Structure formats: C-alpha cells, structure tokens
Structure 1
Amino acid sequence: MRKIVTIAENQRGLLVKDGRLISILDSGRHGLWDWGNRMRVEIVSAEGVFMSPWGPIIEKLHPELAAENFVVVRPGEGQVAVVRTDGRATQIVLPGKVAMVWTVLQDVSVEMFDVDARPQLTRAELVAFENAAVVGTAPAIVTVTVPEANAGLVFFDGELVETQGPGRHGYWQVGRKVSARTFDTRPVPVEITAQEILTRDRVSLRVTLTSFVQVTDPKQAALGVPDYEAHVYKLVQFAVREAVGGRTLDEVLNDRVSVDEQIVEHVRRELGDIGVRVTELGVKDVILPGEMRELINKVVEAEKVAQANLIRRREETAATRSLLNTAKLMEDNPTLMRLKELETLERITEKIGRIDVMASSGEGLDAVLDRLVHLKPKA
C-alpha cells in the first residue's frame, strides 16, 4: 500500500513505524510503501522550540537526528539560557528545563547567564529579554520601576540587597523572590485628622494638624520602622495631646505659635534616627463645641463693641477740643468771626435759588450790603 505525504517548507514529518521513530522527513512530497498499515507520519512545526513527547526520545536514542535538526538547551543550577533566533532573543530556559530548538530554518545561538554571580540585567539585556517566551512555569525576569524623585529598595527573599535611583531595572528571578519598595524623597504632606483633646480648664477641643515628612535615608526608613508615616502620625498625636492638654483654652487660641513650636520639638526629639525628618508641622484648625463657640462669639462681640465705644468717645473728645480752640480764636479776633459768618452765609445761599431784599428805609441794596459786613475800625 502506497501513502503520499506532503510536508510544507516550515514543517517536518516524524516517520513512525510500529511505535518507533524511524526518521525526520524534510519538506516536500514523500511516497511511502506501507504494507499492513504499520507507518504513520506526524507533521510538526519546524520553527521555535520542539514541543513533542518525541523530544527526549530523539535526544537520547537518536543523537544523530538531534544534532542534525536541533540545538538542545539544558542550563545548570544557577544558570539561565537565552536562545537567540536570527539574532533576536526568543526563549529563556530556566534551570531544570530542557528545550530543543529547531535549527533547520533559522540561525540559533544560545547564551548562558550565571544568575547567582550577576543577578541584575543591563539596560540593553532588559529591553532584549523582557518579551522572550519562558520555558518553565515561573517568571524569569522582574522589572523594578522607580519614579522620578524616588528611591527604590530591592529585596531578595526579604533581604535588602541594594538601592536604585529613578528608572527601570531588571533582575533575574531564578532561585529567589525579588521584591521592591519605593520611597518619595520629596516632602510629603501627612494630614493629622481631628481628635478630641481636653484643655487644662476642661474644655473639649478638636485639633487638626498638617505636617510635611521627608525621607532622608530610604534604607533606614525601610528598616527602622514598619511604616514611617504611621509612626510619625502617632508621634504627632501624642505631641498634640501634651501641648494642648497643658494649656487653657485662651492660651491655645492666643498663642498658636508656642503650641506649634512645642509640638515640633516633641516630634523631632522622639522621632530619632529612622531616616525621616519632619520639615513643617502646625495646627491647621481648632474646632470648638457649638455652645463654646457661641460663648466665645459673644465675648468677642462685647470686646468689639467696647472698642468701638472707646474710639467714638476719643473722636468726640477730639472734636470738642477742636471746637473749643476755634471758639477761643474767634473770641480774640472779630475779623475771623465775621469771615466765619460769611462762609456760613455762602453755604446757605448755595441752596437758595432766589433772594428778595426788602429795604423799607428806601436806601436800596447798597445800604443792605454795606451793613451786612461790618469790620471793627482800628483803634
């Protein structure tokens, strides 16, 4: 019985007879004499990694076929193999894995990396390898991205190994667990929410604060305390209770600067050397109970009314003193008195549209004008 098998250029055929691999057929048209239907041909892709149960059999029992068609990649412990196909990284083979890569249609090269001696990839390697397929189950590469104005801490199995600046950094995650933390090295605002505090005169207040925290040593900030922001938050709460609880309500409201200084001094003293410093800290709001606000508003209103009355009395006294001085000048100087009368008469006549002058003596307007202004003759 004759069988005809056609194999495409990007394929190869595995000729199997009675369950045994006989050969690997090239592309083209093949005629096979099969007496008793004992032969079959498995057509497989001849590109990339040879993924077939026949792979280990070909490698062990047919080394000549393996050498003719494949490159066998088997990295050792602590090694990673990067397979380049026509100069481009296409596969990454992890330790304990075996990859048989076809060589019949493409140029294949293999590069070995000692991940224990050099766990970090260069920038060029990261760009070339990060999209390659991984032969294995675990991811081969971990990318750590550190934003601008940040510092990154890299951990292997929970142990800090190095600090990185802004940018993208790649690490081999083979035989280890790679993790990272980033810290913003700029001053970051930390809002301290309102909390109930009792003053020395037993008035309940709610105080809100704003602080700015800056990481100065990322390594110390990561290892010194579990969460530096929560640590600073608690310190500020304790400092506020100490500063406000030791003062009366009037002292808190009238001397905010002193309260802020005491809080800052307490926080910086207790903060210690954890790689973090508090750049600014201050009371944002002081919230009083409703009835206390009404009482304070009444007190403020009474103070303002008293100040207004005092100012008004001062103005009245000054005006009276000015009138007295003017009266004394007019008493001593009749001419000034007459000028003042004329000035008053001028202001009055500005509002009069018509003036009728009645001179009963028959002397006319001239006599009225002559008598209107009378200057005292010189002695």
Structure 2
Amino acid sequence: MIRKEFIVAENQRGLLVKDGRLLQMLDPGRHTFWDWDNRLSAEIVTAQGVFNSPWAAIIEKLHPAMAAEYFMVVRPGEGQAAVVWLDGRASLIVRPGQAVHVWKVLNDVRVETFDVLAEPRLGKAQLVAFEKADTVTGGTVAAIAIVSVAEAQAGLVFFDGELIETLKPGRYGYWQIGRKVTARTLDTRPLPLEVTAQEILTRDRISIRVTLTSFVQVADVEKAALATPDYQAHIYKLVQFAVREAVGGRTLDEVLNDRETVDAQIVGHVRRELGDIGVVVTELGVKDVILPGEMRELINKVIEAEKLAQANLIRRREETAATRSLLNTAKLMEDNPTLLRLKELESLERVTEKIGRIDVHASSGEGLNAVLDRLVHLKPRD
C-alpha cells in the first residue's frame, strides 16, 4: 500500500491519471491518495494561457463537462479568424482549421470571431489591438498584413496579385488568411531622374558623353503600377534611346550651339514613346556635354584664335577711328588760326610739365614772347 500526495499551486491544475486514463482535475491544494498497486500519477500543468497538451483534445471529447469548466475551446470555421482576449488584451489569433484550448480559471477569456473573406480590412482600433497578438503556429505568413503609406505617397493593395484598392497616406491592416496580401507604394511628387553619361557618336564622327536630368511625376497611380514593372527604369531607357537619336543626327557644333532644339527633340521622343502609363515627364534637358581630352584642347585653340582675331579687328577699328579724328582736327585747325594757337599752347603746356626751369633773356627785346611763339610750332608761320 502506497500513500501518494500531490501539491497543486494557485496557478496550476493537476491531471490525475490511472493506467493512462484521466480520472479527475486537481484544483489548487494538497491532494492525498492511496495507491494500492502504484498505478496513480499526476501531471501538474500551468493553468494560464493556452493548454498545450495532448490531454486537451481528450478532455474536450471524453470529458465535456470538465472542459467547459476549466478552459475554452477556440475553433474558427473556414473563412474566419478568432481573436482570443485575455483580461481585456488581444493575445492570440487563431486561423481556420486550428483548435486552441485556453485556460479560463485565472484569466477573463473572451473570443471574437471575424469573417475575413467578407471584411478583409481591419479598422484602426482593431489594427492597434491585434498587431501585437501572437499567432498560433502552423501558418506560413503572418495573420495580419500591415501596409504603411508615407506622406505624399499612394499605396496599392493586392490580394493574390489582384489589385483591390488604392490607399492614401496612413497605416492599414488586412487579414492575411486564405490570401496573400502584397502592397506597393508610389511617390506622387516630381522626382529627379538622372541619366548618367553615355558615349554617343555625332554625325561628324566625334565621340562625346552626354548627361541628362529629368523630372517625372506619377499622374495615375494604378496605371503607373500596372503598366510597367518599374516606370523609372522604363523612362530611363527611353531617354537613352532619345538622346542617341537626337545627338547622333547632329554635328558637334550643332549639339553645342543649339541645346534648346536638342532638348525639345529628346522631350518629344520620350513623351511620344512613353504613351499613357500614368507617368508624365515634366522636365528633361541636357545637363553636361563631355568632350574627349584632345577634342577639348582643339576647341580651346579654335576659341583662342577666334578671340585673338576679334581683338585684332577691334584694335584696327580703334586705330582707324583715332586717325580719322586726328584728320578732322587738322582740317579744323587749318581753317581756324585761333584753334591752331590754342592747340600750340596746349602742346606747350605738356612740354613745360617736364621742364624744371626756363631762363628768359630779354636782350633780344622779345622776352616771354620768344617762349610762346618759338618753342612750339604746329604749322610754319607766314
């Protein structure tokens, strides 16, 4: 004869088993049994949260009264999801085809069931409450898909590859049960698209590198997302083709001297080939034209020669103008003795500025008049 004693704590329950058959559930306290043949055993389990034990399904089927007293069975149907609330907090999400046994002896348990097929989108309050809940293992993906759309963006939600709706900036949640939820966001602001330098051969067989800058903007979000896998890469290729066509049909001088026409041709080609994919090219133009080193030196020499020729031409024009002015002045002085005398006095003034001292002798009887009349003569006197 064996006397067995089992102690069950407040947060525990005991499963009294004899020969592999459940006899009763042991509540907290000290339990004493006489085991004549040493056939009794007790399995002590924590009575909080999910009852993860093979005994859970056995109790549900063979001891329904015991199951109803100690735990709640959560088994959502097809197209449904169950949220288990413990003490007012969403703690667990159960998928269709799963069965969960939740202890209710120490927690306030509440189960909320949702039709995920009819209402796939969660409300704001539901998203906040459910996003931190655990999901019963067995699913390959999370039970809830969260889609975040930033400011100045638009979001697209797809169920199994099918476009469902377009979203404004915000945070959204969708039941990902029985479907795969994917999302894509697009920026609706004008975005710069830099086309890096590429080597192009001009019509006069000169290799140059051209860099372009463009701005693209999404006008129709759904078209932009569905028309091409990547609209920016698509426009990038179109710009490359357009610049080759525009530059390859011109000489180097035409490319350098008529940038506006080149830009207009590139823009026209891109917009024509782009079509209606929900994206517009707001601006597009050539940013840089990079020449080979030897070509830059040659062009610099040509520019230097042109500038030197222009400088010589200007200098000759100025010399001609100065000579013509002197000729006109001489004609005026020839016809006007007074003007000639004023010019002589002006010349005398410039000469005397460089003379430190002038001695005048009056023995000849002329005095200062000898200086004024004989020192400077612009024209022989009669």
Tell me the TM-score normalised to structure 2 length. Answer: 0.89
Q: Identity, % of aligned pairs? A: 72
Partner of 1:78: 79
Q: How does 1:205-354 map to 2 (within 5 A)?
A: 205-333=208-336, 336=339, 339=342
State the Cα RMSD in Å.
Answer: 2.4
How far apart, CA to CA, are the structure 1 residues paired with 2:196 and 2:165?
A: 36
Partner-residue secondary structure (3-state), 1:125: helix
Deviation at 1:154, TM superposition (A): 0.8
How far apart, CA to CA, are the structure 2 residues paired with 1:347 and 1:28?
A: 132
Partner-residue secondary structure (3-state), 2:96: coil
1:49 aligns with 2:40: no
Contact 1:338 1:373 in 2 (8 A): no
1:262-293 per-position Cα deviation (integer Å, ceiling 9, x unaligned)? 11111111111111111111112222233322
Deviation at 1:145, TM superposition (A): 1.1
How far apart, CA to CA, are the structure 2 residues paired with 1:176 and 1:344?
A: 107
Contact 1:171 1:178 in 2 (8 A): yes
Partner of 1:97: 98
Contact 2:239 2:266 in 1 (8 A): yes
Partner-residue secondary structure (3-state), 1:113: strand
How far apart, CA to CA, are the structure 1 residues paired with 2:32 and 2:346?
A: 137
Q: How does 1:20-169 map to 2 (within 5 A)?
A: 20-138=21-139, 139-169=142-172
How far apart, CA to CA, are the structure 2 residues paired with 1:344 and 1:142?
A: 100
Deviation larger for 261-270 or 4-13 = 4-13
How far apart, CA to CA, are the structure 2 residues paired with 1:116 and 1:240?
A: 51
Contact 2:8 2:30 in 1 (8 A): yes
Deviation at 1:323, TM superposition (A): 3.4
Partner-residue secondary structure (3-state), 2:313: helix
Deviation larger for 108-117 or 22-31 = 22-31
1:53-104 per-position Cα deviation (integer Å, ceiling 9, x unaligned)? 1110110011111100111100000000001112110110111111111111
Deviation at 1:201, TM superposition (A): 2.3
1:225-283 per-position Cα deviation (integer Å, ceiling 9, x unaligned)? 22222221222122122212222222111111001101111111111111111111111
How far apart, CA to CA, are the structure 2 residues paired with 1:159 and 1:92?
A: 25
Partner of 1:177: 180
Judged with a 3 Å threshold, the aligned counterparts in structure 2 of structure 1 residues 319 and 109 are, in CA distance, closer, same or farther, namely same
Partner of 1:377: none
How far apart, CA to CA, are the structure 2 residues paired with 1:331 and 1:62?
A: 143
Aligned residue type for 2:208 = L
How far apart, CA to CA, are the structure 1 residues paired with 2:153 and 2:178?
A: 28
Tell me the TM-score normalised to structure 1 length. Answer: 0.89
Judged with a 3 Å threshold, the aligned counterparts in structure 2 of structure 1 residues 279 and 61 are, in CA distance, closer, same or farther, namely same
Judged with a 3 Å threshold, the aligned counterparts in structure 2 of structure 1 residues 299 and 31 are, in CA distance, closer, same or farther, namely same
Partner-residue secondary structure (3-state), 2:49: coil
Judged with a 3 Å threshold, the aligned counterparts in structure 2 of structure 1 residues 333 and 36 are, in CA distance, closer, same or farther, namely farther
Judged with a 3 Å threshold, the aligned counterparts in structure 2 of structure 1 residues 344 and 106 are, in CA distance, closer, same or farther, namely farther
1:167-201 per-position Cα deviation (integer Å, ceiling 9, x unaligned)? 11111110111111111111122222222322222
Deviation at 1:116, TM superposition (A): 0.3
Partner of 2:376: none
Aligned residue type for 2:295 = M
Aligned residue type for 1:172 = W
Judged with a 3 Å threshold, the aligned counterparts in structure 2 of structure 1 residues 242 and 201 are, in CA distance, closer, same or farther, namely same
Deviation at 1:203, TM superposition (A): 2.3
Partner of 1:196: 199
Judged with a 3 Å threshold, the aligned counterparts in structure 2 of structure 1 residues 91 and 345 are, in CA distance, closer, same or farther, namely farther
Judged with a 3 Å threshold, the aligned counterparts in structure 2 of structure 1 residues 47 and 331 are, in CA distance, closer, same or farther, namely farther
What is the aligned length? Answer: 370
Contact 1:198 1:205 in 2 (8 A): yes
Judged with a 3 Å threshold, the aligned counterparts in structure 2 of structure 1 residues 351 and 118 are, in CA distance, closer, same or farther, namely farther
Partner-residue secondary structure (3-state), 2:216: strand
Unaligned runs of 5+ in 2: 374-382
Deviation at 1:332, TM superposition (A): 4.8
Contact 1:75 1:97 in 2 (8 A): yes
Deviation larger for 58-67 or 232-241 = 232-241
1:300-321 per-position Cα deviation (integer Å, ceiling 9, x unaligned)? 1111111111122222223333
Aligned residue type for 1:29 = R
